[in-house]
Amino acid sequence: MWGLTFDQVAFRRSARAALVIPLAFLFARLVLGDPQALIFIVFGCFALLVMADFSGPRRARLLAYLGAVLGGAILVALGTLFSAAPAGAAIAMFVVGFGLAFAVIFGGYLAVAQTGLLLAFVISVSLPAPPSAIPDRVGGWLLAGLFSTFAALLLWPRPESGDLPTRAAMALLAVAEAVSVKSPSALGDAREAIQGARAEYTATARRPAGLSRGDRAYFEMFSELDQVVDLLQRPFQAPQATARPCTEEGERLKVSVLESLRASAAVLKGGAPPDLRAVDEAWRTHRAALDGWVTDQLRSGRPIDEVLDGHDYDQTLRVISYLVIGLGGNAVLAAGAPLETGIRLPAAVPARVGAGGVAVRILRTLRAHLEPRSSLLHNSLRLAAGLAVSIFLARTLGLSHAFWVVLGTLQVLRTSALGTGRTTVQALAGNVLGVAVGGLFAVLAGNNPPLMWIALPFAVFFASYAATTVGFVLSQAAFTVNLIVVFNLISPAGWQVGLVRIEDVAVGATVSVLAGVLLWPRGARRDLARSASGFYRATSSYLGAAFDGVLGFEAGPDLDAVRRNAVRARDRAGESLQELLSERGARHLDPRTAAAL
């Protein structure tokens, strides 16, 4: 709740915002002067520079920022059109809130931009204005987009992944060494390298908007590396096994596994992608050779127990090779390179590229989550309902800063009633602290605008830095201080604006608590348990149908249909895991344990 950590990425992001937002604010004040346009410029820059903070190659970041600016402009226009009546504003908020919340299933830059785009619509629909105000509002947002895009590309741009590719590559190479020599020291080195890469990932992937597709690829890759090391430490074969296949095909499979692990490390640093087809072909060839070895051993009269023990000796390598195919696919995704087609990749890795592949993934994702049991569907509906009720109450009660009420709901609402109640208390405590600090400064500064302008960069910096690096109480306090300074520059109101902030956050938090209690109150951890158990059941059905086919029993359900059901269950479990990882606050479950489940 109170923890403070240093984050180099957050520091760069905050320093950039502290330089750009005051300059954009000053420029707009001198040129435009309209208070509402100033609000869109300040919060537009905050949404794009702090909440979005796109990573990746420069061209991809440019396109992402341009897309976010264009999408935000459309949302600002729509929000203004529906802002006249409280009921219309609430309905529009529900539709847009649900659409943006549910759109995170597509990952990538869309997921990163979600919070910033939601902020653009919240501000425009919360402040009532006639359609004639659309040009000024959209102009303010576009000006914020112009400043933000140039600043993000040219001024201390976000590192593509920091040291994460190097650390992840080191982990892959350490695991390759462990596969090659199988010594306790090599296993220890592999564990240490994975832990170091995961620590770097924890720092690098932290964003106000949550995880991107590349972030998730890294996360899955570390989970697969852990599984490989676990298999090396506790292999399938019995220690007393006397018969071992020792086939040439087994050696070739091991070589292909090592080459793929090393190539996966290379692709993260700009090298050629791993040859996943070679691993797949070696795996299939080894399967035939292993079957032949079992047949020969049984015909020669060797006891069946010894043959089974020998068969298990190579199963460890076979499972590792399957994990390595998934590792290679996730390494390619994390590096932004195209995936190889023509082989059946694990369910967690998209197998198709191009427009057709995108369409297949979209349909598959929608099928997985447009179901009554989907935790993502529940969370999207809960958020949309909470925001809609907040805006209706704020507008009906005539609160002067209605969008603060909606922001209070957005900041406090969690996936469980208990989590929402906890963050409500923390939000109110943080706002009281922020009002005490910011109000004291407002009293001391009085009607002295130069002092407010001097304080603005510092307030922006701390509010930006606190978004991801401190506990929820301190981040709320920093954001409240920032609001007091900004609104005293737009329209001087002294420390009283802080009391309005507390009142509005209390209303929004109350709505969040009610939404958390009434709408699926169990939380991300419970959703993960439920979806993981559903995944286990679907996998069990798939295995049962597959064994029935292999053993020649009576034909059961269509195997492809059962497999598709298992893949959808896996997708739902993956989304529940991502919800757990993205949620701020106490999870009471270690992310590595959750991923292993």
Q: What is the topology classification, in CATH, of domain 164-364?
A: Methane Monooxygenase Hydroxylase; Chain G, domain 1 (1.20.58)
Task: Report which listed range, 208-217, 315-324, 357-366, 505-514, is most confident.
Answer: 315-324
Tokens of 476: 């709320």
User: pLDDT tens digits, residue range 365-422?
Assistant: 666 667 776 767 777 888 888 888 888 888 888 776 666 677 766 665 555 444 555 5
Chain center to CA of 81:
31
pLDDT of residue 77: 94
pLDDT of residue 563: 78
- Higher-pLDDT residue of 84 and 417 is 84
In eight-state DSSP terms, residue 104 is: G
The average pLDDT across 211-216 equals 62
> Any residues with CB less than 8 A from the CB of 579 and at least 6 apart, and which?
375, 376, 379, 415, 524, 527, 528
Residue 259 pLDDT class (50, 70, 90 cuts): very high
Cβ–Cβ < 8 Å for 116, 51: yes
Residue 264 pLDDT class (50, 70, 90 cuts): very high
Which DSSP string corresponds to 139-180? Answer: HHHHHHHHHHHHHHHHSSPPPSSTTHHHHHHHHHHHHHHHHH
Ranking 156-170, 272-286, 426-440, 461-475 by mean pLDDT, the lowest is 426-440
pLDDT of residue 113: 82
Ranking 10-24, 62-76, 409-423 by mean pLDDT, the lowest is 409-423
Residue 111 pLDDT class (50, 70, 90 cuts): confident
- Higher-pLDDT residue of 525 and 583 is 525
User: pLDDT tens digits, residue range 424-470?
Assistant: 566 667 666 766 776 677 767 666 778 888 888 888 888 888 776 77
- Higher-pLDDT residue of 241 and 254 is 254
pLDDT of residue 75: 94
The average pLDDT across 85-104 equals 88
pLDDT of residue 4: 47
Q: Rounded to whole angstroms, how far apart are CA atoms 457 and 17?
A: 8
Ranking 10-14, 108-112, 308-312 by mean pLDDT, the lowest is 108-112
pLDDT of residue 349: 58
Residue 360 pLDDT class (50, 70, 90 cuts): low
- Higher-pLDDT residue of 42 and 483 is 42
pLDDT at 213 over 90: no
Residue 107 pLDDT class (50, 70, 90 cuts): low
The average pLDDT across 7-12 equals 75
Single pTM value for the model = 0.66
Q: Rounded to whole angstroms, how far apart are CA atoms 407 and 120?
A: 11
Which DSSP string corresponds to 408-468? Answer: HHHHH--SBHHHHHHHHHHHHHHHHHHHHHHHHHHHHHTT-HHHHHHHHHHHHHHHHHHHH
pLDDT of residue 247: 84
The average pLDDT across 336-361 equals 59
